[in-house]
Amino acid sequence: MRLLPRSLTGRLLAISMLTTIAALAFAAFSIGHVLERFVIRGMDQQLDAQVAMLSRAVRGDGTLDRGRIVNLPVFEQTGEGWSWSVESPRGRWTNGNAVTSEHPLRRGPGPLDHHDPDPAGALPGEGVSDTGEPVHTRELVVPTSAGDAIVVAGGPRRLATAPLREAMLPLLASLGILGLGLALATVVQLRFGLRPLRTLQAALADIRAGRTRHVPGDQPDELAPLAAELNALVDQNAAQLEHARRHVANLAHGLKTPLAALSLKLEESGRDPEGGLRAMVADIDGRVRHHLGRARASAPGSRHQTRTELARAVSDLTAVMKGIHADRAIHVAIEITPHLAVAADPQDIDEMLGNLLDNAWRHTCSSVTIAAAPSGSTVELVIEDDGPGLSEQAILEALVPGRRLDERGDGHGFGLPIAQELAELNGGSLVLGTSRSGGGLRAVLVLPAATPPL
């Protein structure tokens, strides 16, 4: 089970939400505790004043001088929960509801233990009145000759909790609004904070499409090393591709000279009376020229990338096919947007389309359809015929160099594999399938779209 989302935005948002909720909960608890302390402090001041007055009314023999007792106004309100009591070995005196302390002070003669307060100060406590209402108390031990006198003054706990409950509702509402504001701020922060990653993704897409060669260097400090490594990788791949292209070109050029010499020798009288050897040499020379053309092909993002308009290339090639196959009345339908261009060398386009169109003309019954349309950063060119088509196994075999599925004619089985290799070399692909209109062959050639001219 995955606890965190896969996206960075989701992870950062989840962590931010969890920490925000924890912080708001801690804030609510802390503010409530502080508010309670302030309310209790006001009650303690009233209770301490009553306890101080009562402690002065306790005589040295442990009795209470009622003539010296003057109740504060709150203690005069009957039924409000305010009460006091004085208890010593000589008697017990009370006013208001009786209070039972939950943590009673030690009573009786003898010295005070370490839990007892200083006689000049009262000890806070909690208790319950005889009506069952929680009471907050202040207690003081007054030493007398008869033993310790315990002075207790208490007030209803609800006087502290009621204002706290009333304050907590707007407090929680304010914290909720604050939480929503923080969540919105987090979303905005993530949107703007992760924008450099989206910019970097767009820059890589531009490199792949050939619009630029490098990732811009003005990146944030955290992404600057990544941009530098990407640019180094692009340069390294370009250098390796250029090296391989030169190697192929050198090899092809090295074969051209011996082939030319061999062709001249075969032209001599009696060397090749039937002409078969000259045909084989011409075929080898054609293959060498093909590899020279591949060496000239540019990969997407290369500075040598050219722009080829498909409508013009298809129009020229269909005219050639009509001349080559003049003995067949083939209907041709072309659906290509004007000025639609691909990022590939014109010679590569001619060779790819030439092989695909020648294959379509050879096997079609009556019509060939050619259509091209942009698809994101690529262009899809579709060539369909109404011939017998190919099975899935036959389609796989058709892309194997030298494998001929139709033994008729003078083909060598290299047309479709060459078109596929050139498409991949230019950053595209070639997919064969069944025609949508019937059982014919459908060839989909995908190539990178060229940038519009400035």
Task: Give the residue-averaged pLDDT of 248-259.
Answer: 71
Instruction: Give the per-residue pLDDT at 377.
Output: 84
Q: Where are the domains of the chain?
A: 9-163, 230-296, 308-448
Q: Does domain 230-296 have CATH number 3.30.70?
A: no
Give the chain as a 3 state SS string: CCCCCCCHHHHHHHHHHHHHHHHHHHHHHHHHHHHHHHHHHHHHHHHHHHHHHHHHHECCCCCECHHHCCCCHHHHCCCCCCEEEEEECCEEEEECCCEEECCCCCCECCCCCCCCCCCCCCEEEEEEECCCCEEEEEEEEEEECCEEEEEEEEEECHHHHHHHHHHHHHHHHHHHHHHHHHHHHHHHHHHHHCHHHHHHHHHHHHHHHCCCCCCCCCCCCCCHHHHHHHHHHHHHHHHHHHHHHHHHHHHHHHHHHHHHHHHHHHHCCCCCCCCHHHHHHHHHHHHHHHHHHHHHCCCCCCCCCCCEEHHHHHHHHHHHHHHHCCCCCCEEEEEECCCCEECCCHHHHHHHHHHHHHHHHHHCCCEEEEEEEEECCEEEEEEEECCCCCCHHHHHHHCCCCCCCCCCCCCCCCHHHHHHHHHHHCCCEEEEEECCCCCCEEEEEEEEECCCCC
Instruction: Give the per-residue pLDDT at 380.
Output: 94
Q: pLDDT of 136-149, one tens digit each?
A: 888 999 999 888 89
Instruction: Give the per-residue pLDDT at 274.
Output: 76
Instruction: Give the per-residue pLDDT at 371.
Output: 93
Specify which of 4-18, 211-225, 389-403 reaches the highest per-range mean pLDDT.
211-225
Instruction: Give the per-residue pLDDT at 112.
Output: 37
Name the more confident of 404 and 453. 453
Instruction: Give the per-residue pLDDT at 425.
Output: 78
Q: pLDDT of 6-42, one tens digit each?
A: 777 788 888 888 888 888 888 888 888 888 788 888 8
Output the CATH code of domain 308-448.
Answer: 3.30.565.10
Name the more confident of 165 and 290. 165
Instruction: Give the per-residue pLDDT at 370.
Output: 93
Tell me the pLDDT of the chain averaged across its residues: 79
Specify which of 98-107, 198-207, 274-283 reaches the highest per-range mean pLDDT.
198-207
